[in-house]
Structure 1
Amino acid sequence: MLHKRTIRTMLAGIAMATLAGPAFALDGTDLVNKLNAASGTSGWTISYGSIATDGNTVVLAGTQVKPVGGEAAAEVGDVRLEGVEEDGSGGYRVETVRFPDFNKTDDGVTVTATGLQIEGLAIPAKVESGTLDSMLMYDKAVSGPLTVTRKGTEVFSMSGMQAGVERMADGAGVTYDATFSDIKANLTQVEDPKARETIEKLGLQTLAGEMTMKGSWALDTGRLSLDEYALDFADVGRLGLSLAISGYTLDFINALRQAAEASQANPNKDEANAALGMSMMGLMQQLTFDRAAISFADASLTRKVLDVVGAEQGVSGEQMAQSLKALVPIMIAQLKMPELQNQISKAVNTYLDDPKNLTISAEPKEPVPFPMIMGAAMGAPNTIPEVLGVKVTANE
């Protein structure tokens, strides 16, 4: 009886192992092939020296990243993919992709970065044209500290970066955001004596702040929106940029890639560059301008600049501000755009009286095709502000 139970137990174990085996046997080569199929649409491919699989972990040794159609490949090193699982449709889901630490010195400048990884990487089973599955998707990309050292002195650093991507409902597009934290810049190593003197007078030997970014991309219209791109530094101010264009579709992206590949493949560089330029001109006709803005919110920098520049002219900062208010209308008179000139003068006067914020925006009533903008620039440049709906405001 014991013998029969033992045999049944052994047979059951063998059956379970047989059934379970394929679910845990990862095909590293298949994973990389599908990774390259998806990443190729973004303009790059990866190669490796060897693949090692251990359970749900895949290690790509000697990894290189190469632009599609390009010649030089970038050395990455050993890349570790952890928590790899098949997604049930032939694709893969990777919990964490870990990259080796980066340390490179070139011409006396050393760049180091640690803790580089991607979380929640989705690799589709096949590239489907016109869908987000034609692109690699991930939940989050992060890095640890990054430093730049020049001749033994640290000139730039940040404590880390975090970027995220989230799909919209029904695959309509994506939203994205990124934060670069604890940025520090050492300006004492600026070599130009005049610039270094000005930096010292302004008390800006070091800068500390962060950079943030967020936006969205709609698949159907190709509307690429950069809602915020901001640099915010203590005792300086916040410089912000926003932009939105339409027509940046998957077809447009593929056409850009194909044009770049054709240019790289042409041994005659002059001919290749000319052909690429013509291709770009044609592709630009598919894009429309929706809006753009650049703004600066002051955090004491303006008064410091006025004081320093005024001292060089032998006047106070307040007197320098009054001189600029009188000079600006004369400088912009050549624009021959009365409405915009009045906006600029009013905004400059308001800002110099009480530096808070200054904004230049362009938001036409209807999206403007890029060819129309280029035509205005060549034929009647003074009409561009009206075409784009340009406005200049202060302290709003």
Structure 2
Amino acid sequence: MLQNRTLRRMLAGVALSAFATPAFAVDGADLVNKLNAANAASSVTISYGNIVVDGDTVTLEGTKVTPTGGEAADIGEVTLEGVEEDSDGGYTVETVRFADFNKTEDGVTISASNLQIGGLTIPAKVETGTLDSILMYETASSGPIVVTSKGTEVFSMSGMQANVARMDGDAGLTFDATLSDIKADLTQVEDAKSKETIEKLGMQSIDGKMTIKGSWELASGKLALDEYALDFNDVGRLDLSFAISGYTMEFLNAMRQAMEASQANPNKDEANAALGLSMMGLLQQLTFNSAAISFADASLTKKVLDVVGAEQGVSGEQMAQSLKGMVPLMIAQLNMPELQNQIAQAVNTYLDDPKSITISAAPASPVPFPMIMGAAMGAPNTIPQVLGVKVTANE
């Protein structure tokens, strides 16, 4: 009787253990195969020397990334943590950690640490025309990145953080990124003239950050880069933005196929010519929505005017007045009266009180790229009207 009770307890313990742990271990090779299938749009293949699976952690040893037609690059050990297989055969990965990077070539060393991706989703099957046809992740980040040249640190940043989110109904994506505490040592510039100018400007080093924000709509292929900004202390903020439509999944696949065909052709001249024609054809599918470039001054303009003026034997204020007289003469050859007046007025306003200057293009309705190319070849002076170009200052 005692023996029977003991046996039943042992069997119950075994059964409980079976339910408490996964019935099957993660198939590392299957995971990588499906990862490569979903990553095909990037034309990069991931390979490995060995896979080690420990519970929900998969480690790829001797990992390499190989672009189509290119040479493999060693990226070392890659660890995937919190790996789960879903009911469809796809995978989710909590965190992907990459080995710290440190490489020296021609006296220049680049190092990066704490590289990782969060919220990686690997579909079981690539579904053309949906977000499941591309490799998706929620975050990407790094720790410090440092570049040294001949033993001197010439560039660094404290880290990078990027986020990607699906729109409702998987209609598209929104994304943003920040590169923090960017520092550059300009004293290492070797060109004598540039070095002299840097010294006169008192800009032996610069520091600031980069920010990026945008979105991509799947159906229309509208790619909008709402913000691409470089903001440096005591220099200024340069901000770019644009929006185009037609950048669809079909467009991306056609572009990838054209590049793969070019790389597979042993006759490079023929391959380049064919690729050029393919790209020209693909551009016909795109539509221009808007674009803008602006600069918000943070003391750079006055420094430049003082330095350039000193070289001409005049003050910075006198240099500004001279430029205000020269600009109308320089742009007269454009043969675009309305735009010329805008440029002249904006330059005058900006030089009187340097705050910001913006060049924008916002047509009343989106303009197909073929129409832009036709205007550029047939009547270049009509492009400002076609694209709705404006130049403004201090607004």
TM value normalised by structure 2: 0.98
- Say if 1:146 and 1:157, in contact at 8 Å, map to a contact too: yes
- 1:3-58 C-alpha deviation (Å, 9 max, x unpaired): 22222222233334445555451111111111011011232110000100001100
**Displacement of 1:380:** 1.3
**Displacement of 1:373:** 1.0
Partner of 1:340: 339
Partner of 2:362: 363
Taking the aligned partners of 2:20 and 2:29, their CA distance within structure 1 comes to 20
Which residues of structure 2 form unaligned runs of 5+? none
- 1:227-265 C-alpha deviation (Å, 9 max, x unpaired): 000000000000000010000000100011100110011
Partner of 1:56: 56
Partner of 2:316: 317
Structure 1 residues 271-282: aligned runs within 5 Å: 271-282=270-281
* Alpha carbons of structure 1 residues 337 and 25: separation in structure 2 relative to 1, 3 Å: same
- Say if 1:119 and 1:138, in contact at 8 Å, map to a contact too: yes
Partner of 1:25: 25
Give the % identical residues.
Answer: 75
Partner of 1:112: 111
Taking the aligned partners of 1:281 and 1:328, their CA distance within structure 2 comes to 35
User: Which one-letter code corresponds to 2:312 in the other structure?
Assistant: Q
TM value normalised by structure 1: 0.98
Structure 1 residues 108-187: aligned runs within 5 Å: 108-187=107-186
Structure 1 residues 173-322: aligned runs within 5 Å: 173-322=172-321
* SS of equivalent to 1:276: helix
Partner of 1:373: 372
User: Which one-letter code corresponds to 1:283 in the other structure?
Assistant: L
User: Which one-letter code corresponds to 1:39 in the other structure?
Assistant: N
Bigger shift: residues 218-227 or 33-42: 33-42
User: Which one-letter code corresponds to 1:40 in the other structure?
Assistant: A
Taking the aligned partners of 2:373 and 2:250, their CA distance within structure 1 comes to 23
Taking the aligned partners of 2:16 and 2:127, their CA distance within structure 1 comes to 36
* SS of equivalent to 1:251: helix
User: Which one-letter code corresponds to 2:315 in the other structure?
Assistant: S
Taking the aligned partners of 1:278 and 1:343, their CA distance within structure 2 comes to 37
**Displacement of 1:289:** 0.6
Taking the aligned partners of 2:220 and 2:170, their CA distance within structure 1 comes to 13
Taking the aligned partners of 1:261 and 1:23, their CA distance within structure 2 comes to 41
- Say if 1:24 and 1:56, in contact at 8 Å, map to a contact too: no
**Displacement of 1:371:** 1.1
Partner of 2:93: 94
Taking the aligned partners of 1:6 and 1:40, their CA distance within structure 2 comes to 56
- Say if 1:302 and 1:355, in contact at 8 Å, map to a contact too: yes
Bigger shift: residues 329-338 or 77-86: 77-86
Asked whether 1:34 is paired with 2:34, we answer: yes
Partner of 1:78: 77
Partner of 2:390: 391
Taking the aligned partners of 1:198 and 1:344, their CA distance within structure 2 comes to 27
**Displacement of 1:285:** 0.7
- Say if 1:24 and 1:55, in contact at 8 Å, map to a contact too: no
Partner of 1:45: 45
Taking the aligned partners of 1:164 and 1:87, their CA distance within structure 2 comes to 23
User: Which one-letter code corresponds to 2:102 in the other structure?
Assistant: N
Kindly tell me the number of residue pairs found equivalent between the two proteins: 395
* SS of equivalent to 2:350: helix
User: Which one-letter code corresponds to 2:27 in the other structure?
Assistant: D
Taking the aligned partners of 2:127 and 2:152, their CA distance within structure 1 comes to 49
Taking the aligned partners of 2:253 and 2:12, their CA distance within structure 1 comes to 52
Asked whether 1:9 is paired with 2:6, we answer: no
**Displacement of 1:158:** 0.2
RMSD: 1.1
**Displacement of 1:379:** 1.5
* SS of equivalent to 2:364: coil
